[in-house]
Amino acid sequence: MRWQREDNQVQDLPGAVPEALERPKATAVPEHVAIIMDGNGRWAEARGLPRVAGHRAGMKAVREVTVAADDLGIRVLTLYAFSTENWKRPRDEVDFLMALPQEFLLTELKELIDKNVRVRLIGDPEALPAHTRKAVDEAIRVTSENTGLILNFALNYGGRMELVRAVRALAEAVRDGRIDPAAIDEQAVANALYTRDLPDPDLLIRTSGELRLSNFMLWQLAYTELWFSDKLWPDFRREDLFAAVEDFRRRDRRYGGLR
């Protein structure tokens, strides 16, 4: 595998995109990959560190996986960063997690802009602290014209809450005579979700060995291929994303039909 460096030196690099997954040939590379980034706390505890050290280490994995997804030609990368249930955690941990977007964007925003990445958010921004919201809003604003990878953070996101919002919006539209109940079909529901203009995930990755969805994208994952890893999120590397994508490419997606 050859790799073009910025100084135009071509060289072999570990962790370069495997030949079979390179962009021009990668017709079956998933368009949308969603990741439940789990195991930060256990990663820290195993090292005798406070849980928040795991969250900070997890940011490195976010950076590496974002670059890897871009290298693969993935169009949308959705990262589950904070669920509507994560507010139940101790105040200190929640405060730390709410400071991370700002910290991440402070160091990464320039590179994201250089890479033509567009930052987006799914979830309810209302409940976020002002500093978190400001950092995310700024990243969304300055990358809004970018046409490359969509880096979609699920922040204060819950699948059930998203569906409740959609039901409410549709009920209001019926009440106001803007939509006939008989016209509410799957497309109408999909259009009332945060993801209205995004394709459903093709591939869902969850790290840390947990085999559950934890309220993530309940509508959108209906036909998504699932891939679980025992690795804790801070240990997740670009090679792990490549392995998941290679596995995805061997799957036979039938959508209820026959092959």
Summarize as ranges the residues that interact with Mg ion (CB under 5 A): 38
Task: Report the C-alpha gap between 40 and 207 in whole angstroms.
Answer: 10
- Record the tokens describing residue 176, joined without a space: 């106001």
38 classed as catalytic? yes
- Shortest spacing between CB 53 and ligand IPE, in angstroms: 11
Instruction: Identify residues 131-170 at the interface with ligand IPE (CB under 6 A).
Output: none
Q: Which among ligand IPE, Mg ion, none contacts residue 37 (Cβ within 5 to 8 A by kind)?
A: ligand IPE
86 classed as catalytic? yes
Query: Looking at beta carbons only, is 81 or 135 nearer to ligand IPE?
Result: 81
Task: Report the C-alpha gap between 208 and 229 in whole angstroms.
Answer: 6
Give the CB-nearest residue to ligand IPE: 41
Task: Report the C-alpha gap between 182 and 184 in whole angstroms.
Answer: 6
Instruction: Identify residues 18-37 at the interface with ligand IPE (CB under 6 A).
Output: 36-37
41 scored as a contact of ligand IPE (CB under 6 A): yes
Q: What is the DSSP string of 25-60?
A: G-TTS-SEEEEE---HHHHHHTTT--HHHHHHHHHH
Query: Looking at beta carbons only, is 62 or 139 nearer to ligand IPE?
Result: 62
Active-site entry in 8, 12, 38, 215? 38
Number of C-beta neighbours around residue 228 at 10 A: 17
State how far Cα 137 lies from the chain centre.
17
Phi, psi at 156, each rounded to 5°: 50, 50
Outline where DSSP puts E strands in the chain.
3-4, 10-11, 32-36, 76-83, 118-122, 150-157, 203-206, 225-228
Q: Which among ligand IPE, Mg ion, none contacts residue 73 (Cβ within 5 to 8 A by kind)?
A: none
- Shortest spacing between CB 229 and ligand IPE, in angstroms: 13
Report yes or no: 30 and 203 within 8 Å, Cβ to Cβ: yes
Instruction: Identify residues 67-106 at the interface with ligand IPE (CB under 6 A).
Output: 80-83, 86, 97
201 scored as a contact of ligand IPE (CB under 6 A): no
Return left, alpha or beta for 200; rule: phi > 0 is left, psi -120 to 50 is alpha, else beta.
beta
Residue where the block lists tokens 């017709």: 27
Pick the binder of ligand IPE from 21, 30, 33, 40 (CB under 6 A): 40
Task: Report the C-alpha gap between 5 and 12 in whole angstroms.
Answer: 10
- Shortest spacing between CB 52 and Mg ion, in angstroms: 13
Pick the binder of ligand IPE from 39, 101, 123, 158 (CB under 6 A): 39
Query: Looking at beta carbons only, is 83 or 143 nearer to ligand IPE?
Result: 83
Query: Looking at beta carbons only, is 94 or 174 nearer to ligand IPE?
Result: 94
Catalytic residues: 38, 86
Question: What residues line the site for ligand IPE (CB under 6 A)?
Answer: 36-42, 80-83, 86, 97, 208, 210, 212, 214, 233
